[in-house]
Amino acid sequence: MLSPTDDPTISPGAALLDRVRILLDLPPVRPALDTHATVPLPSRLATAEIAWASVASAMLAAGLSPTVIDPHRVATAYRSDRVLAIDGVAPPVWSPYSGFWRTTDGWVRTHGNYPHHAAALRTALGLQDDADADADAVHAALEERTTADAVAAITRLGGLAVAVSAEDPAADRALRAAPLLEVRHIATSARRHPHHSRATAPQDDRLPLAGMRVLDLTRVIAGPVCTRTLALLGADVLRIDPPHLPEPEWQHLDTGHGKRSALLDARTERMHELLAAADAVVLGYRPAALDRLGLHPVVLAERYPNLVVAQLSAWGVDHPDRAGFDSLVQAASGIALIESPDGDRPGTLPAQALDHSAGYLLAAAVTTLLQRRMREGGSWYTGTSLRRIAAELLGMPRDREPQGEVEFDIRPHLARFDVDGTALVTSRPAMTGLEFDAPHPWGSDQPSW
């Protein structure tokens, strides 16, 4: 290890779990957990450690012991897109417009999985008349541009691209000076009476959120992993998507377990009726977009007292207009160059670990705050960002070279469902001892509790 922890007898994952435990005022692990089995997610950075600590945090918040975590189960869950099968076929999870591209002076990373982002990329590169433009066409267009010109052209039209950059230790230290999870009480001028289910103790000790209503306004892995975890812990989770922005089927089926799914314009009165009856709302849209929709966390807490508001963003609330995904944050934060396979080409973490870790950590905070609200009342806010998770990972111990891949039998870690006639194979929960309910087809439910 290049950066040993202060106490070499305590694993980095156990040290991170203890920090999250103190932050959320959770009880200590009994017996004390200084080491743990290694999660097989090999990389130079401490991907295995942050994955274990994130899942362990969610378990501890739920009153479950992290000592029972199966490291193979965690690795499978973090790489769920690799084991996903729909009617026996592994879906293509990356668009030809998503990837690393060499420029005249470096590299850029693009993300074009959504059709509107792909269209913006094609237009920026002069490929707008070719809806079937392939990766070779993108490569040819980008290799003639500077990194700055390429990023500016693509983002100006609403596409997604970042420069592949070296890590900035000073910037990461500044980010780590703020808590990994922001937690605060939001004072409100009014009170509302909880609906009856909030006062009902769960019948199953493993389901501490039974009876809780969670409104899910998230997309793309991190937020859906958070709300999938809340559903796993017994919450009634209702995901709402805008009718004009379809979700890729594979992406929804990979993270939609145990949730209902409905389509609704967020600006309608019906949305506010849902919020008025919710215990928590999880927000995953850009902060500026939330402001335009009247869904700023402070506004929600004031309008709906006793609400727990959780917020996820790619870059943090200090960058309200900037859209992003795990792959883009890896590239911009320095992770891609650290994980280079050859010292030239950018690389990636062995999983979309920023997304998954953010999801489990935020689920831990929401679980804790829902229980705290039961005792203390009031509205509560919690939030984090993929960039903050990246800064945490970059501050953890790292290896000079990644360990080799570990072969293990994934079959015990797979779940099978019938989703409206579709045969679905996905990963089982990373949280040992619990099992998912099947996802509902996207948009198939009514927007009601």
CATH superfamily assigned to domain 1-93+168-449 = Crotonobetainyl-coa:carnitine coa-transferase; domain 1 (3.40.50.10540)
Distance of alpha carbon 249 from alpha carbon 228, whole angstroms: 16
Given phi > 0 = left and psi -120 to 50 = alpha, else beta, which region is 338?
Answer: alpha
Domains of the chain, by residue range, sit at 1-93+168-449, 99-167
Q: Per-residue b/e over 351-373, b at no fewer than 16 CB within 10 Å? A: bbbbbbbbbbbbbbbbbbbbbbb
Report residues of the chain scoring pLDDT below 70. 1-8, 130-131, 188-205
72, 339, 436 from 429: Cα distances, Å:
11, 27, 7
pLDDT of residue 5: 44
SS (H, E, C) 59-75: HHHCCCCHHHCCHHHHH
Supply the pTM of this predicted model: 0.95
pLDDT of residue 323: 92
Which helix (H) or strand (E) segment is 385 a member of?
Answer: strand 379-385
Quickly count: other Cβ atoms within 10 Å of residue 426's Cβ: 26
Distance of alpha carbon 243 from alpha carbon 241, whole angstroms: 6
pLDDT of residue 238: 98
Tokens at residue 215, please?
């409104």
Through-space distance between the first and last CA atoms of the chain, rounded to whole angstroms = 50
The tens digit of pLDDT for each residue in 390-400 reads 999 999 999 99
pLDDT of residue 204: 64
The tens digit of pLDDT for each residue in 126-175 reads 997 766 778 899 999 999 999 999 999 999 999 999 999 999 999 999 99
Backbone φ and ψ for 108, nearest 5 degrees, come out as -125, 155
Q: Per-residue b/e over 307-340, b at no fewer than 16 CB within 10 Å? A: bbbbbbbbbbbebeebbbbbbbbbbbbbbbbbbe
Question: Which residues, 6 or more positions from 174, have their beta carbon under 8 angstroms from its beta carbon?
Answer: none
